[in-house]
């Protein structure tokens, strides 16, 4: 098993990663009857996408002796209704100034766009990814 989640009441959950015992709390967002005091489950999906992109870029970079240390991702989640769902995730990846070659840029961009989370999300969820080199 990966995690255990306990409903705390008032639209809040506490999740525990079983291997590390790390915990996180989720709240429903204010626009969906919640307090919005923590990541919402849909925030975690959007954030998980960007985190996965950076992690896979790190794996690929390590194989090719490229540094991506200090790369940052900004995430914007766009919700839709009828049914309520994530319609789009906008990810802007800001790369450190390392004078990447065109080949390195292509390699890293492909790694990000084909990370496991990106490939697992519905094709109806638009993934808008911008790289700032």
pLDDT in tens, 49-76: 999 999 999 999 999 999 999 999 999 9
Tell me the mean pLDDT in the region 107-129: 98
Verify that 56 and 99 share a domain, yes or no: yes
pLDDT tens column, 7-55? 999 999 999 999 999 999 999 999 999 999 999 999 999 999 999 999 9
Based on the structure, what is the number of domains in the chain? 2
- Using DSSP bridges, classify how beta strands 85-94 and 72-80 pair: parallel, antiparallel or unpaired: antiparallel
Verify that 28 and 45 share a domain, yes or no: no
User: Which residues form the domain of 20?
Assistant: 3-32
Tokens in use for 40? 């919402």
Phi–psi pair at 81, nearest 5 degrees? -120, 165
Verify that 52 and 111 share a domain, yes or no: yes
pTM for the complete prediction?
0.95
Verify that 10 and 49 share a domain, yes or no: no
Verify that 55 and 115 share a domain, yes or no: yes
In this prediction, residue 132 carries a pLDDT of 98
Verify that 74 and 116 share a domain, yes or no: yes
User: Which helix (H) or strand (E) segment is 111 a member of?
Assistant: helix 102-113
């Amino acid at each position: 098993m990966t995690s255990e989640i306990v409903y705390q009441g008032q639209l809040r959950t506490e999740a525990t990663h079983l291997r590390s015992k790390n915990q996180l709390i989720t709240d429903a967002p204010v626009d969906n009857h919640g307090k919005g005091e923590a990541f919402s489950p849909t925030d975690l999906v959007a954030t998980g996408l960007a985190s996965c992109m950076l992690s896979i870029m790190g794996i690929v970079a390590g194989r090719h002796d490229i540094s991506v240390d200090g790369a940052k991702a900004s995430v914007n989640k766009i919700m839709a209704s009828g049914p309520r769902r994530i319609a789009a995730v906008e990810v802007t990846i800001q790369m450190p100034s390392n004078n990447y070659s065109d080949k390195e840029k292509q390699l890293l961009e492909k790694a990000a766009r084909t990370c496991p989370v990106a490939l697992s999300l519905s094709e109806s969820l638009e993934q808008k990814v911008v790289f700032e080199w």
